[in-house]
Chains A and B, each alone.
Chain A
Amino acid sequence: MTAPLLTVDNFTFSYDEAEKPVLHNLSFTVEQGEALLLLGPSGSGKSSLALCLNGLYPAAVDGSSTGEISLAGKKLDAYLPGEASRRIGVVFQDPDAQFCMLTVEDELAFGLENLNVPREEMADRMEWALGLVDLQNYRTSPIASLSGGMKQKLALACVLAMKPDLIILDEPTAMLDPVTTKELAETIKALHAELGFSLLVIEHKLDHWISFMDRCLIFTETGEVMFDGIPEDGFSFYLDELKEQGVWLPKPLVFSEQLNMAGKLPLTEDELLAAMNWQAFEKAGQLLQKERREYSGTILETRKLSFLRGAKPILKQVNVRLPKGALTAIVGPNGAGKSTLSYTLAGLETPDNGEVLYEKEPLAHLSGAAMSEKIGYVFQNPEHQFITDSVYEEIAFSLRMQKKKEADIEQIVGEILAACRLQGLAHQHPFSLSQGQKRRLSVATMLVDEQSLFILDEPTYGQDQKAAAELMKMVEKRLAAGFSAVMITHDMELVAAFADQVIVLVEGEVLFAGVPHDLFSDRSGLLEKAQLERPLAYSIREKWRLRGESLAASQA
């Protein structure tokens, strides 16, 4: 057996010598061609590890480390500056912040230039790398014109062009929608099999990756490895710990738990299907019968809403109705006009044609102040909404606007802080909070206003399972109190679990408006057209049905 490609031996890393180490006594190896999954709560140092492995840390951050990392039998310190980075490629999460050039070919060239590849060879290597990720037709396109998924494929092509031995994927799909995520994961799966590089995957949502991971490492919150072995064992032995840490578990696993299925834990949809029997299937069918919230009346509706950007129509004659006391989901592919529609519903954008009626009264007749008292909006990036210097002031802001008494403000803020589990952070700067805390604060600032309608843009985006569940609990509480909500999301599981109504928007037109159950049971190709993924429960039902049909056909 040959020596492992990468050996990490007793490695400890800290950003500051005085602080607690981010990574603690790590020891593991990566074999040539192996695919390794890194699992752990956010903040457990997985991303720091990625940068330590390719030699950027500790030097880039003046951190300190002990222990050793060797690549291909040679210590990392013994490589020249930049040399280790050339053998280990990384794809990062932010599609907008990993390029430094303007066009696709220049970006590819950048990496090759760093490698001192002769100019004559570059064109061939670029063609080859672009071909691998199916971007050959975009060689001279500006990067800004690519979609998020294409940008991530380009990032992958840039790394592939450098022919690394190991590719590290640092949450490459965190900012992508489920359909694009699936596509990227499948591309990587195929390339991994074809080219034989080693792979180290750091991901939150595992569904598309788990099927080709050879091994997994589970990290604790303090940056130690608590498990190193095959994924199946990891999930069976450490299920409770993983849940406690807020790690997103593979959907089939969660599903099998809901059904109380015995035996081996299924990690992929196929495994789940194989393990299911008639009883389990019956039970799964019952899960689809979700209890419905009661609601009546209409809070907001649009009449023939049209919106143009330049000459390009973004919304075409949109008629939607938002029921009072219910959660309406707006779904559809990127660029379908979801954000524009939500901005128009909130009165932030003025439609070119048509109108928005709030309780039968045109929204345009309301003053800006009246509008922000009635409609709230929680933006995708919580930071965008912060306007003061402390958590306390952030929540008190609109109360002060309403000229409430200081004593009242103090009481209300205290209650909200407790409700959002932000006690003790009242005097922190909003920007210094963790991702989950920021999100809760941004929702808290909306709760305090008690607007009768609030709009959420990708509420669970970039959050761990625990934080997402907490947030949805807050939303449900609001709904139970008679408030209405709209959420824009790509997450169909979220829609299936929480929404009362779903609106499908494609190219500025409403293709469907109704209960989620009807949408996900549709067989007319609507889901494909809107690039939506069936939630697991529905997808299982579909596959079961198809299997039943083919079985019946073979017996006939």
Chain B
Amino acid sequence: MRLHKLNPSIKALTVILLVFLLSFVFDPVTPLLYWLFIVVVTFSLGKVETRKWLLIFVPFLVVALGYVWTTAVFSNPPAGTELVTYWTIGPVEITNYGLSTGLALGLRVLCFAGLSLLFILTTDPVKFILSLVQQCKLPPKLAYGLLAGYRFLPLLTEEVKIIRHAHKVRGANRETGLKGKLFALKRYAIPLLASAIRKAERAAIAMESKGFTGGRSRTYYHQIHIQKQDWLFFGLMIGLFFLCVFVSMQLGTFRGYGDI
């Protein structure tokens, strides 16, 4: 089973379902275990560049640490919770409750990031959209529109560069400060929008001129199927989640939605 070969819709469904399930978990052990599984699955079943993965993952790590810190410091335990204070720094008290909730939240963020990366780095956006059309009944009108738009992104960055040069030559980039920068942004936006709208219109006409009606009656060159391995992946990921819940329960650390 290779992650790249899986049906994108099922992969997306799996990720969404897991994000949903993870939101009901409030202890740090379950997401920690699960995060480890996600990493193992990502690198063993998917061909993912470690450098690229880290590059996107690190910012999430920072966000997660922020969660841990703020929740640990500003925790608001319900009345009657047994609190153990680990550290006291001035008026700030770090308690067992605060720390564990903070870690749970932080690790949840890491799990979300891990799952998203697993999806994004192993999925071809074109196949994803085609799969949405073929499996999830996304209207072709919308799907092929999205694809055409996706094509324009690199063209737009190229255009921003030219506009920046063009404005610099006219001496229009001399204002500094926040107000000047915002003003410059507005000036870039108009030519950029004008050309984007024109390109979009032309592309739409070109698509229609090739007999595209937006209707469902069409054949597909890339037929995207759902195979056994897709459900296997689905089962594996959900199974692993419940395994983590089970282990955490055995350790006595599990805290779910009802246990707050």
A residues in contact (CB < 8 Å) with B = 51, 54, 56, 60, 81-83, 85-86, 88-90, 92, 94, 96-102, 105-106, 109-119, 122, 143-144, 155, 158-159, 162, 343, 346, 348, 368-369, 372-373, 375-377, 379, 381, 383-387, 397-398, 401, 431, 445
Contact = CB atoms under 8 A, between A and B. Distances in A.
A116 B215 CA distance: 11
A211 B220 CA distance: 41
A110 B205 contact: no
Interface string B14-50: 0000000000000000000000000000000000000
Contact of A92 (B190, B206, B217): B206
Contact of A379 (B162, B202, B205, B219): B162
B240 interface: no
Interface stretch (B67-75, B83-91, B108-116, B170-178): B170-178
B168 interface: yes
A116 B217 CA distance: 7
B199 interface: yes
A348 B168 contact: yes
Contacts of B154: 144
B190 A60 contact: no
Given A56-B205, A97-B202, A99-B203, A111 B163 contact: no
B170 A445 contact: yes
B179 to A, nearest CB: 16
A122 B208 contact: no
A287 B109 CA distance: 76
B51 interface: no
Interface stretch (B97-105, B144-152, B245-253): B144-152
Closest 5 CB pairs of A and B: A109-B221, A98-B206, A100-B148, A97-B202, A82-B213
B194 interface: yes
Interface in B189-224: 190-191, 194-195, 198-200, 202-203, 205-213, 215, 217-223
A82 B218 CA distance: 12
A162 B215 CA distance: 18
A94 B212 contact: no
B155 interface: yes
Given A56-B209, A385-B166, A101 B151 contact: yes
A106 B221 contact: yes
Nearest to A103: B126
Contacts, number: 159
A110 B210 contact: yes
Contacts of A445: 170
Nearest to B162: A384
A376 B168 CA distance: 10
Contacts of A101: 126, 147, 151
Contacts of A348: 165, 168-169
Contacts of B137: none
B187 interface: yes
A116 B169 contact: no
B170 A398 contact: yes
A330 B209 CA distance: 38
A275 to B, nearest CB: 41
11 contacts: A60-B205, A85-B208, A85-B210, A97-B206, A100-B147, A110-B210, A116-B219, A122-B221, A372-B171, A384-B162, A401-B174
Contacts of B207: 100, 110
Nearest to B199: A97
Contact of B220 (A60, A113, A115, A381): A113
B5 interface: no
Nearest to B220: A113
Contact of A85 (B165, B169, B211): B211
Given A115-B211, A384-B163, A398 B171 contact: yes
Given A119-B223, A368-B174, A99 B162 contact: no
A143 B154 CA distance: 12
Given A122-B221, A385-B167, A99 B206 contact: yes
B191 A51 contact: no
A54 B217 CA distance: 20
Given A97-B206, A343-B165, A368-B168, A383 B211 contact: no
Nearest to B145: A100
Nearest to A122: B221
Nearest to B149: A100
A97 B187 CA distance: 24
Given A82-B212, A92-B206, A431-B190, A401 B171 contact: yes
Nearest to B213: A82
B161 to A, nearest CB: 10
A86 B191 contact: no
Contacts of B217: 116
Contact of B221 (A113, A155, A376): A113
A155 B210 CA distance: 10
A90 B204 CA distance: 13
Contacts of B171: 368-369, 372-373, 398, 401
A343 B161 CA distance: 12
A346 B207 CA distance: 40
Given A100-B151, A110-B144, A159-B210, 17 more contacts: A86-B211, A89-B210, A94-B199, A94-B202, A97-B199, A102-B147, A114-B211, A114-B212, A116-B217, A119-B221, A144-B154, A377-B165, A377-B169, A384-B191, A385-B166, A387-B170, A431-B194
Given A119-B221, A387-B170, A162 B211 contact: yes
Contacts of A377: 165-166, 169
Contacts of B208: 56, 60, 82, 85
Nearest to A118: B219
Nearest to B144: A100
A383 to B, nearest CB: 5
Contacts of A368: 168, 171, 173-174
Contacts of B222: 106, 109
A386 B186 CA distance: 12
Contacts of A118: 219
Contacts of A56: 205, 208-209
A114 B151 contact: no
Nearest to B191: A383
B194 to A, nearest CB: 6
Contact of A102 (B151, B159, B166): B151
A363 B47 CA distance: 48
B191 A92 contact: no
Interface in B108-154: 126, 144, 147-148, 150-151, 154
Given A122-B221, A384-B191, A387-B187, A96 B169 contact: no
A513 B236 CA distance: 68
Contact of A383 (B194, B203, B215): B194
Contacts of B151: 99-102, 143-144
Given A106-B126, A112-B221, A51 B170 contact: no
B166 A96 contact: no
B209 A376 contact: no
Nearest to A384: B166
Nearest to A120: B219
Nearest to A442: B166
Contacts of A162: 210-211
Contacts of B199: 94, 96-97
